[in-house]
Structure 1
């Protein structure tokens, strides 16, 4: 993506994108590359190649050791980080479709991937951003937090925690010039997402969600990536501590 005057407005910026090899993450990586950024993408495996032009490293960020290894790889590959997009996330639906029967292991896995991975990675990368006096962090949450879906209670709770953490971190880092925002994708066409959406719909009896989002279609990964690019860029230089819903109007929040 370029600005109207043809300049690549993220030239010289160094970006790290977790979950960056497919779906929304890959779209974010491509947008950042097109805008001139140097990008390191990460995923748990090499099953899906990262977009051409991006550096890639495998890391299991559900673990403390994995986040430390990724932070080290980011410093070695990029020389520092200006933009961090925490996109990796997800959880399996509880087989009993019950919030009560979600096991401790399921809860811990959801918390590790959707909340603690960002907390741990930020703790390792934020000092460098503070020292340079600038930076942008984007946490990918979900637009569907309010509909009660018992089978996904662990996922919704972890993402709600991520949003609350985002606001607290934004307040702390604002004086140092580092911005933090959260973004909630709605129903988006991504690899592997259809089964989750089917299970979500079967358990979501009182959500108020429509069969088709008000804008008439489900989202595309690039719809989400465009919003991430904006929040990561200097065009959003006076925006921090916010939550952006990118869902076609499907899940309004009061």
Structure 2
């Protein structure tokens, strides 16, 4: 799986799933651009990447802001080189019954989760087209596969990510670029812990995990291992695929 000297950008790379992905890709020999809003947490992950012997650039990025994304892309290119691996992991979560959901609730969810994925991909894909090689891995959600109450805006945004991935896989496949998505199940991350605190997980994370066939909640490393595979040379004949990492919550 070694990908020596390739450059990867991981959005939402400061914590949880994104941070684990940064570590896994660095272990596979990639230099890493970490994009997130949390500068202190990014700095900690950056030190871990450096300890693995890889170069790293951190950028404070709101993925829904094209100007900020473009500036960050130029910084990564200047310091590390062209980007040929993109992991769109940045995202927000929220709960609201449909009758209480505001336009602002809906628009913010779409802006970060779906439009942000589009902007980051559009800004960076030219590097992959020039290289005639690329990997785009989008983090979606198992809630798109099973449905989930009081999260119609979140589920719709992540469902859009899956559809976007499939459309791009067809469009870019002949250019040496694969596009896949990975929907996590119940992964023990700060985002899921916040949902637990808000009462969105009846019984808590451990109880939800125990209902899966594997009888546990997922770990960020479970997701990172799947993403690292899809980013590898060995996954070159896999595109437009939804690789479920959910402990059996949803089987297809």
Q: TM-score, normalised by structure 1?
A: 0.88
Aligned 8 A contact 1:170 1:181 in 2: yes
Counterparts of residues 154-193 of structure 1 (less than 5 Å): 154-193=153-192
| Offset, 1:75 | 1.8
Q: Which moved more, 1:27-36 or 1:184-193?
A: 184-193
Find the residue that maps to 1:145 and give its secondary structure: helix
2:28 corresponds to: 35
Aligned 8 A contact 1:14 1:83 in 2: yes
| Offset, 1:210 | 7.2
Is there any run of 5+ residues in structure 1 with no aligned partner, and where?
Answer: 4-8, 203-208
| Offset, 1:68 | 2.0
Is there any run of 5+ residues in structure 2 with no aligned partner, and where?
Answer: 51-55, 203-207
| Offset, 1:70 | 2.3
Aligned 8 A contact 2:93 2:191 in 1: no
Find the residue that maps to 2:45 and give its secondary structure: coil
- Measured in 2, the distance between the counterparts of 1:11 and 1:80 equals 14
If each structure's helix is expressed as a fraction of its own residues, which one has the higher value? Answer: 2
1:151 corresponds to: 150
Aligned 8 A contact 1:144 1:251 in 2: no
- Measured in 2, the distance between the counterparts of 1:56 and 1:195 equals 25
- Taking a change above 3 Å as real, the CA distance of residues 65 and 151 of structure 1, as seen in their structure-2 partners, is farther
Counterparts of residues 227-238 of structure 1 (less than 5 Å): 227-238=226-237
- Measured in 2, the distance between the counterparts of 1:150 and 1:131 equals 43
Find the residue that maps to 2:137 and give its secondary structure: strand
| Offset, 1:197 | 4.1
Q: Given the alignment of the two structures, is residue 201 of structure 1 paired with residue 201 of structure 2, yes or no?
A: yes
Find the residue that maps to 2:91 and give its secondary structure: coil
2:95 corresponds to: 93
- Measured in 2, the distance between the counterparts of 1:33 and 1:214 equals 31
Find the residue that maps to 1:100 and give its secondary structure: helix
After superposing on structure 2, the runs of 4+ consecutive aligned residues of structure 1 that deviate more than 4 Å are none
Q: Given the alignment of the two structures, is residue 72 of structure 1 paired with residue 74 of structure 2, yes or no?
A: yes
Q: TM-score, normalised by structure 2?
A: 0.88
Q: 2:19 aligns with which of 15, 22, 26?
A: 26
- Measured in 1, the distance between the counterparts of 2:168 and 2:196 equals 31
